Structure 1
Amino acid sequence: MSTAYKFRNPEGLYFISFATVHWIDVFTRPVYKDIFVENLRYCQTNKGLEIFSWCLMSNHAHLVARRAKDTPQLWETIRDLKGFTSKKIHETLHNCNTESRKKWMLRAFRYAGKKNSNNKHFQLWRQDNHPIELFTPKVVRQKIKYIHENPVKAGIVSSPEHYLYSSAIDYYTEQRGMLDVIVI
């Protein structure tokens, strides 16, 4: 098993990236984005997830985060975040009659689930998380800027703070975004 990307320091601050299987653009509709944000908020409130920066793109997410003291390990919280989001999106897709991509996405996620011994029926997220521990303030700032620039580089917005599903608004304006973010 690879040791390149692991949560080694339980108290560490991490840059974390995770993507959907086959890089499928799930998060193009607000209903799916809101499921992800709702679950992030739950993890903040109930699992001690401390978020310094975040961004949800159409097929992947980035976080700079750590766990609060005496709370579940960060890897456990990320696992639960991905697991619950996967179940809720599967349920939403299954019950939605207006999703034009429904059959295709359900088939793709079932196929991915059958190919993975950890899942049997449905897999939304890739197994990897790519956590990178951040040691210096300079690197933390670089990663936060990278996260906030993602929607700009993708051509979605012209300025980071205009992207709703990100913490950029917390950093570049006096307004508060969708989640409680520790601005540094």
Structure 2
Amino acid sequence: MSTKYRFSENDIPHFVTLTLIEWIDLFSRERYKEIIIDNLKYCIENKGLIIYAYVIMPNHIHVIIKSVEGQELSKIIRDFKRYTAKILYTTLKSDKRESRRRWLLRIMEEEGQKSSSNKRIKVWRHENHPVALDTNKMLDDRLNYIHNNPVRSGICFRAEDYKYSSSCQYCGEIGLLPISFIE
């Protein structure tokens, strides 16, 4: 599928949205958000991912990211989505506590059958909509958008109170992921 959205230069920050298929709210459960956190940490430590900001919403993730020199951002995201899709699906399949398990698995399997790239399962929508952030205004706008997303969605009253966001780190507190600050 062709798109006008493409990763441009790897050495400038990009705003990226990773969306679950059919906008399923898998990340309303903490155990699935923790899988995302663990795998983002892995990408930071082993694949050269630099995260400036993030938020994990119930059905999508927003990040401002770039890669270290010599690493392709598009490949890091591709590998992240491929691996987390497998882990999320496997975890969901064995999670007897998940009341929506059959419904979620059915959607993932049906979407996989429709997919040209994966016939078994599909967890993530194909598009990432990367936007190169090459001005300070663009960086500031997207940073505020990411951090205020949980407030706009009614998850919390103050952005810095949402656990699965870098907002608290920009307020001087400790967060779940190591980030680089936008200056």
| Superposition TM-score, scaled by structure 1 size | 0.96
Q: Distance in 2 between matches of 1:60 and 1:164?
A: 15
Residue type matched to 1:26 in 2?
L
Correspondence 1:61 to 2:58: no
How big is each residue's C-alpha offset from its partner over 1:61-110, in whole Å with a ceiling of 9 and x where there is no partner?
0000000112x300110111111111111110111111100100000000
* Aligned counterparts of 1:85 and 1:122: Cα–Cα separation in 2: 12
How far, CA to CA, are the matches of 1:104 and 1:141 in structure 2?
A: 39
Distance in 1 (CA, whole Å) between partners of 2:61 and 2:28 is: 13
Going from structure 1 to structure 2, the CA distance change for 1:121 and 1:3 (only over 3 Å counts) comes to: closer
Matches within 5 A, 1:13-162: 13-70=13-70, 72-162=71-161
2:173 counterpart residue number: 175
The unaligned stretches of length 5 or more in structure 2 are none
Q: When the two structures are superposed, what TM-score results if normalisation uses the length of structure 2?
A: 0.97
Q: Is the 8 A contact 2:10 2:69 kept in 1?
A: no
| Deviation sequence 1:135-170 (CA, Å, 0-9, x none) | 111210110000000000000000000000010001
Post-superposition shift, 1:120?
Answer: 1.2
| Unmatched tracts of structure 1, length 5 or more | none
Aligned-residue RMSD, C-alpha: 0.9
Following TM superposition, the consecutive aligned residue runs of length 4 or more in structure 1 with deviations greater than 2 angstroms are none
Q: CA deviation at 1:176?
A: 1.5
